[in-house]
Structure 1
Amino acid sequence: MTHKHHVAYLDSMRGLAAMAVISEHYVIAYGLPCQAQRCQQILDTPPFNFWWDGGAAVSMFFVLSGMVLSLKYFRSGLHPDLTHFNLLNYILARLSRLWPPYLAVLALSGLLYLKASDIPFDSIILPANAWLTEMWRANPLTPQQMISEAMLLKMPDNIILLPQAWTLTIELVLSLLLPLGLLLAERGIVWLLFFSGLAVTLLGVSPFLWHFLIGLMIAKHYTALTGYLGMKRWRRWLVLLIAIVFYTSGGLFQHLDIRESIVWASSGFGAALILLFASSSENTQAVLTHPILRQIGRVSYSAYLIHMLILLCVTPRILHWLEPILVGHLALWLGGYLMSVIVILGLSVIGYYFLEIPSISLGRRITNFKDWLKTNTVF
């Protein structure tokens, strides 16, 4: 199985996780597609809420990120190959990968914020709730707030323009800690657990560090784990069954007095098991490498960045246009959802080619120029 194939199916899983976050935000804004109480209870109960469980999808993001970023360093075995690793180049590449697209969408959000009062939240059949309608209108945006939201490494507590960006801050910080994680993984699991515990409890690093490190350990033991699960089909399906229970535990615990950290830990463990199942199943990988899923995975970062803009500024207009055409709550809900997703994915393709790829190229040019200066500078 080639490394290229690894990236393909893992990218698709990231895309599906992004779709779950988008679906959750649509559901929060406009409710579930059915109005009957029994139907809503079913769609709000695991595993039927799988498609819009954005909290579990966030856990998947962090486990997946740790795994994807670490895989290439464990190609030759259990010891990370850091022979050609350059810390400064890695940091510059990560900053270039995440920050410029974010700044571009943030700037666009600032411009659209000025027109927020013109958004027609006037659908009678499918009215938006206050979570969406007041997201911008109830929060004044000052230049200082705009600048603080541009600082992706340290975001304010109240994020106005792109509220989903709280995960990007954590993602950036954790990915910058990857080199240290690789060195600790070289020493052993005890070292990794000890220093990660210090980082979370004493240094204030996000508890999602545990999710990231689970992904790192999957990458380290990738060959052994996938080989063991690949030998017996029943092992894989048992892992998947357990994975679904843990991954959707947020829905199971929602009516119980369970600490949020336990819910996050549970969904993170489930996400890790799902990744192990997919990594050990060639049939699953064949499905995940379908061109449509690969394309969604490819543009998932742009989709994640822009989807709140669409839900805020475009979806209300879509519903406004569709209301005279589509009859009933369900038809309008589905029409608004499908058209919103189409718009998000369409704009994400543009974002991928005109924001993400240039940002990746910028990172390469910066590191190449730095290396050139180092080579040609005479002291």
Structure 2
Amino acid sequence: MRFNALGSLRGLAALVVVIHHHLLVFPDLFPTKTGVGGWFDWLSFTPLHLFWAGGEAVSFFFLLSGFVLTLPVWRGEELDMLNFVVRRVWRVWVPFIVAVTLAALAFWRLGWASVNGTSGWFENIWKEAGVPAYVQHVLMLGRMDEGLTQWAFLPVVWSLKWEMWLSLLLPVVVLLARQHRIFTPLLCVLLLAAHYVFGTGDIATNLLRYLAMFVLGAWLSRHHGLVARTVTRWPTPVPAIVLAATLLLIPVQWYGWQPDVGWLRATVNDTVTLFGSAMLVALAMGWAPFRTWLERPVPEWLGRVSYSLYLYHTLVLTLVVRLGAERLSIPWLLLVSFTLTFPVAELMYRLVERPAMQQAGRIKRAIRPASIQPVPAD
């Protein structure tokens, strides 16, 4: 069973991340600050932030992974963890390490230097590049998602560490998602709250946040039939109203933004964004006009190359800005980078991602290890 519309949503989320990182090159947009005025404030603190809400898009990725990875269990297949992990290595790690290696080679060829007119975010890219950081990336361990190490090669790949770790915890995700229909969403909110109450500086508490996203996606996957039927029965104006409200609510953290917020506001921010992401998935499954739009060629293409788009856009951005800084102004360089990102994503999809996916699809194991028994979906 495939949901092409969900792949398109993933592609649109990847596009949001691309826009996000191109805008972060402007010093007025990173670090976030109030009182800049003009279009910077409009982009940052209004619903327009939706179009470059990179953090919110990553939350959507985690939720969608929970949905897709547990779907076979809910439709009656056993979860063969050894087979599953090997496939995830091919699907996630192999394209990831190719991209990281290309970025490392680019750094060792060009080196790091300050670029006038760019933000602290861009200046941090490659600043901590080196063998220790590369080893941490290869192993998907250590501090590759913290401090300057997360910028060492590709600023986006920190999320893939958690993607792989949560894939290893998929039996736990399934266990939590198979609880009472009401209990699981409440548990997700509690996990988010615990993350912010106990702090965000260590592996255990950080894991709670991303686990909540995976679990809610798995819960939505388990009940996807019921959810789709419910949305289908809504009268004509309701889905459009819900979609508009959802898109307005997803960037909630930017309304009344402050540099430091308490655990309650942070939990509310994550909860609203996460449940808004779940509502987008529900609408894509149950509202025919939305699903039809998502299945058009351009959104479907974005979905097909979304992983390569995610992996390579900051490498293209870094190379274009560093190589062209003395020839063009920053806005023109960003336009060149943005334009080049899409053919590069298509190329790397064909050269790396698609062969890795095909290899993952060919993997068959003769020995079946202990597995999780399937649970019927609604």
Give the Å deviation of 1:249: 0.6
1:314 to 307, 317, 320: 320
Which deviates further from its counterpart, 204-213 or 154-163? 154-163
Structure 2 partner of 1:37? 37
Distance (whole Å) between structure 1 residues aligned to residue 269 and residue 211 of structure 2: 15
Determine which of 20, 23, 26 is the counterpart of 2:22: 26
Alpha-carbon contact 1:62-1:171 (below 8 Å) kept? yes
How many Å separate the matches in 2 of 1:277 and 1:100? Answer: 33
By how many angstroms is 1:31 displaced? Answer: 5.6
Question: Whose Rg is larger?
Answer: 1
**Residue matched to 1:230:** 232
The aligned residue for residue 109 of structure 1 is: 103
| Matched residue, 2:376 | none
Output one character per residue of 1:233-272: Cα deviation in whole Å (capped at 9) or x when no partner.
3332343244224311121142373444442232112111
Which SS does the other structure have where 1:115 is aligned? helix
Where does residue 211 of structure 1 map in the other structure?
213
Residues 159-238 of structure 1 mapped to structure 2, 5 A cutoff = 159=150, 160-189=152-181, 204=205, 205-231=207-233, 232-238=235-241
Unaligned runs of 5+ in 2: 30-35, 199-203, 370-378
Q: Which runs of 4+ in 1 moved over 6 A?
A: 193-202
How far apart are 1:214 and its partner, in Å? 1.3
Give the 5 Å matches for 1:1-379.
3-4=1-2, 6=3, 8-30=4-26, 37-75=37-75, 81-83=76-78, 85-117=79-111, 121=115, 127-136=117-126, 138-139=127-128, 141-156=129-144, 157=146, 158-159=149-150, 160-189=152-181, 204=205, 205-231=207-233, 232-255=235-258, 257-259=261-263, 260-317=266-323, 321-323=327-329, 333=331, 335-365=332-362, 367-368=363-364, 370-371=365-366
- Counterpart of 1:101, as a letter, is P
Q: What letter is aligned with 2:20?
A: E
Question: Unaligned 5+ residue runs, structure 1?
Answer: 76-80, 324-331, 375-379
Q: Secondary structure at the match of 2:171?
A: helix
Counterpart code for 1:178: L
CA contact (8 A) 2:177 2:216 kept: no
Q: Retained in 2: the 8 A contact 1:121–1:128? A: yes
Q: Distance in 1 between matches of 2:323 and 2:288?
A: 43
Q: Give me the TM-score of the superposition, normalised by structure 1.
A: 0.80
d(CA) in 1 for partners of 2:137 and 2:251?
A: 31
Deviation at 1:112, TM superposition (A): 0.8
- Distance change >3 Å, CA 198–CA 254, structure 1 → 2: closer
Cα RMSD after superposing both structures: 3.2
Q: For residues 227 and 373 of structure 1, what CA distance do their matches in structure 2 show? A: 35
Bigger shift: residues 142-151 or 55-64: 142-151
The TM-score normalised by the length of structure 2 is: 0.80
Structure 1 residues 48 and 258: alpha-carbon distance in aligned structure 2, compared to 1, 3 A threshold:
farther
